[in-house]
Amino acid sequence: MRIRTRFFLAFLVTGLSVVLITALLAAAGFSRGLDQYLGQRRVDRLEVLAEQFGAYYEMHRRWPAQFERVPGIRSGHFKGRGLVLLDRQRKPVIGEPERNRRYLSVPVMFDGAIVGYLAHPHSQPNFDPIDENFRNQQFSYLLLASALALLIALLVSWLLARQLVRPILRVAGFSKHLAAGDYDKRLPAGRTDELGELMTAINHLAEALGQAEHARDRWLADISHELRTPIAILQGEIEALIDGIRQPDSARLNSLHQEVKHLQKLLNDLHTLALADAGTLRYHFEPTDLAAIARSQTDLFERPFASAGLRLETDLPAAAMLRGDPERLRQLVANLLSNSLKYTRPEGVVRVSLSKQGKHWRLIIADSAPGVPLPERRRLFERLYRVESSRNRSEGGSGLGLAICQRIVEAHGGEITATEAELGGLKIDISLPEEQL
């Protein structure tokens, strides 16, 4: 059964139940009220007759032999039907009361004292034609109102079911577009109920899927470019050697070797990042001196920095013990120093500092110009992202180093951020706990 039909039947059954219960209660209340009204009117009429019998008794000092001898009894409402006149001892004077039948009685007064009773059967219907017509008319109106209410309930149930199901059907149709790979469409916003929250969540899902698709396309394009460039160079050099255009001297062979090393590093970085994303990158945590690792790496980079015309400044404590993977932390520091070496302008400064803040060690690597604009700083840790607009590999690396650094820091329970450095360039701020979280 479709959800629209379920909603419709639920609303219809609810509406019909309310209408029927209301109609039954209204009919019962009307009947009871009408009976009370007619009963009170019968009491009033009996009291009027009792006054007439009291006046007759006052005039004649006795009871009449028949009801018809009392003035006004013929034209009255009862006309003597079912009436019983009793004396003060409740003995019959006119008429004979039936056994096992309840009677409504009113006293007949004379000179402030009760001289008799006038009784009429309590259960005897007392509808005159006007009362009967009024009752039937009211029941007809009630039946008509109930029928109209049922029709309204039917219409409202259909409209409510349609109104509730419409956004659900819209979400279902939108989900089919998502399944087909169409991430550009959006559901209308503006609802403030639970369905509106669902639509907003699905819009966010569509946006996330679209961004993931664009990232995947960009990822494939960047990988293709990074692989195509060294392979094209290798192919050209090898073909030139085969054709005899170039001689296989040490310079040519060294150039080929450098391209192979670059290609191997790129593949290794891609493999490392893929393992980190899949959560299968192995770590061997043990007590590690982060200061010793930072000191050894800065010593290794001292000559390349000097060759590039850069000044390397360090501020490292004697020891900085934490629980970590020495090889991954060494890779972390090396990637950050390599990044500064590639992008910092000649005669610039690269500053490495390590300090204790609470229960965390804070490692900062800051360099001088050029800086990185804020919009691009937010994307620095994306894989294969590079700040320079050109694709010239001589100006930078593959764009995987910072992405790998982020995975290593997160695996150690730490945080890594990129901000503007006081030296005018980029500052990478890393916070690592003393113990693995």
Indicate whether 361 pLDDT > 90. yes
- Fold for domain 282-433? Heat Shock Protein 90 (3.30.565)
Radius of gyration of the chain (CA): 51
Instruction: Measure the CA dihedral 130/134/135/140, to 10°.
Output: 140
Of the pLDDT bands very low, low, confident and very high (cuts 50, 70, 90), residue 4 is low
Indicate whether 78 pLDDT > 80. no
pLDDT tens, residue by residue, 195-245: 788 888 888 888 888 887 887 777 777 677 667 767 887 888 888 888 888
Higher pLDDT, 125 or 195: 195
Q: Tell me the one-letter amino acid at 203.
A: N
Q: What is the pLDDT of residue 171?
A: 82
Higher pLDDT, 362 or 124: 362
What burial letters (b/e) apply to 424-436, b meaning 16+ CB within 10 Å? bbbbbebbbbeee
Backbone torsions φ then ψ of 287, nearest 5 degrees: -60, 125
Indicate whether 393 pLDDT > 70. no
- Fold for domain 194-276? Helix Hairpins (1.10.287)
pLDDT tens, residue by residue, 267-310: 877 777 777 777 777 888 999 999 999 999 999 999 999 999 99
Nearest CA among 251, 252, 250 for reference residue 242: 252
Number of other residues whose CB lies within 10 A of the CB of residue 285 = 15
Nearest CA among 259, 253, 275 for reference residue 227: 259
Of the pLDDT bands very low, low, confident and very high (cuts 50, 70, 90), residue 317 is very high
Nearest CA among 167, 160, 168 for reference residue 12: 160
Q: What is the pLDDT of residue 437?
A: 40
Query: pTM of the full predicted structure?
Result: 0.51
Domain locations along the chain: 3-129, 194-276, 282-433
